[in-house]
Amino acid sequence: MKKFLVLSYGASCYLLFQGVFIYFIAFTGDFFVPKTVDSGVPVPWVQGLIVNLLLITLFGLQHSLMARPKFKQWWLKIIPIPIERSTYVLFSSMALILLCWLWQPMPIIVWQITHLAGYGVLQGLFWFGWLLSLFATFLISHFDLLGIRQVYLYWQDQPYSPVPFKEILIYKQIRHPIMLGTLIGLWATPIMTVGHLVLALGFSSYIFIGIRLEEQDMLNIYGEFYAKYRQKTSMIMFPF
């Protein structure tokens, strides 16, 4: 029974994240969902800026602090090892739900592309970015990243072993293609409003802070091997 509950919990957290991830893409692109980055009654810009920056900060703190080794050492005294990653995914989903729910619209237009070709290029880049981000997760073990592998191994009575570091396809050129795809998805829009700009700038700032923290962890884990990997690959942009 315990194994079934652990497996069900992990699967539920995974499915929740997938739904939230799809919703956030539509939220960012101002597509067919109840609440988007630009929908709703406009608010005073000071109120909108403060609330939106607080929401981004909350997401960034949760996403980065819960991933730090010292936090995990304390956290594992409370949360069983097999569901630690699933719980992280759950909290990340909740933080993103909160951001979408409480986001304050700031619809003043910063730029707007009306030319058909330009509009099509930016829309294409938008989808390319999010698909790149998703594709990159599968290259480094999508199911381990989102907690499914951990609960499945527990279900099978097999010990967990970390996924080995590997250089594969785009990871041979770029160290953080997931983040690159996210940045493209955030910035590639034919209609950039103040609210969307705050979202893009806020998440971009978090991404670069998060990369710095993650790379320090990777250096602590892999040492000289990761240091050499950093020397021969770009952090987030294509080498050319």
Sign of CA dihedral 25, 93, 175, 132: negative
Structure tokens at 125: 């880049």
15 — pLDDT class (breaks 50, 70, 90): very high
Q: Does residue 127 surpass a pLDDT of 70?
A: yes
Amino acid 19: pLDDT = 96
Q: Does residue 120 surpass a pLDDT of 90?
A: yes
For 16-30, write each residue's pLDDT tens digit. 999 999 999 999 998
Is residue 104 within 8 Å of 51, Cβ to Cβ?
Answer: yes
Amino acid 65: pLDDT = 86
- State how far the Cα of 204 lies from the Cα of 186, in Å rounded to an integer: 8
Structure tokens at 161: 């072993």
Is residue 37 within 8 Å of 189, Cβ to Cβ?
Answer: no
Q: Residue 21 carries which side chain, given as an amino acid letter? A: F
For 43-53, write each residue's pLDDT tens digit. 888 999 999 99
63-67, 151-155, 209-213: the lowest-pLDDT one:
63-67
